[in-house]
Amino acid sequence: MKKHIEATCLALVFLFTFYVAADTFLIKESYQVAENSGSNTVTVKQTVTNSTTTDTSYEDDNISITINEYYENDTKIYVADVTVKNTDLLKTAFAEGSYGKNITEKTSEIAESVGAILAINGDYYGVQEKGYVLKNGVIYRNTAVSGREDLVIYENGSFEIINESDVTLEELKERGAYNVLSFGPGLVTCGNVSVTTNQEVGRAMTSNPRTAIGIISQNHYVFVVSDGRTDESEGLSLYELATFMQSLGCETAYNLDGGGSSTMYFAGQVINNPTTNGNRISERSVSDIVYIGY
């Protein structure tokens, strides 16, 4: 009888542990369908007929994108140089169009669903239980993480790096915040590198695939992704990434989710080589993207 009770208890503990793990990492739960606040509505024409696309460029009346490749620090780096006429062409999007838990898609899949011309993976809000989530003018999560640096993208297209400990998301929204990316850290502030030579994100490897976004001047941005963890491309440290962003002329630059998430999509194709461990080139599913599109 005692052995039967012990076996039953062990089975219940196993089932509970399995449920908690599944609820945390596997079970999808949509909290809210994505919406637009209307405070930064698109003012350009939805149909663009005067456009030209090549393997490395896109041009229309409102958007100019040029893709350049670099090889520095034994690492292949992809840079999308972007100029937009209207700041509302810089947007974010959720996987499956929903804010929630364990809702993920590949960067390319999210990009295709919203008609993105250019896209990179975002801050992967879904792996965190806290941290600001403001997307396209709508507040989805306002619980702060002490000491976390966020990138605020304002309605006028300007960038600012803030600390969640210093300001509430509601205050940022009142100041005109339209998107907040909560990963970090900030890489460049006022044109100066803002990370130390040995600084890293949590337990990330020193040489890593990386994703970053920066602003050079009004309406002039760079989207940056580096490959890593392969024989052809070692990967960058945070400091190497920061100095590279500075060399591009960024006044403000910010680190996004990296590693296997690092993906750049342009004109219908993934143009880098995303990998988690170097053994296989494949996209990781993520919870959100940053993109250029109508």
Q: What is the pLDDT of residues 73-85, one digit of tens each?
A: 999 999 999 999 9
Residue 42 has pLDDT above 50, yes or no: no
Asked whether residue 117 is assigned to any structural domain, the reply reads yes
Residue 112 has pLDDT above 70, yes or no: yes
- As a whole number, the mean pLDDT across the chain is 89
Residue 60 has pLDDT above 80, yes or no: yes
Asked whether residue 217 is assigned to any structural domain, the reply reads yes
Residue 181 has pLDDT above 70, yes or no: yes
Number of neighbouring beta carbons within 10 Å of residue 5 = 9
Asked whether residue 2 is assigned to any structural domain, the reply reads no
Asked whether residue 3 is assigned to any structural domain, the reply reads no
Token output for 42: 């698109």
Asked whether residue 194 is assigned to any structural domain, the reply reads yes
Count of structural domains within the chain: 1
The predicted model gives 197-201 an average pLDDT of 84
Asked whether residue 42 is assigned to any structural domain, the reply reads yes
Asked whether residue 287 is assigned to any structural domain, the reply reads yes
Asked whether residue 23 is assigned to any structural domain, the reply reads no
Q: Say what the pTM is.
A: 0.87
Domain boundaries, position 250: 33-292
In one-letter notation, the amino acid at residue 199 is Q
Q: What value, to the nearest 5°, has the Cα angle with vertex 121 and ends 138 and 94?
A: 35
Whether the Cβ atoms of residue 272 and residue 225 lie closer than 8 Å to each other: yes
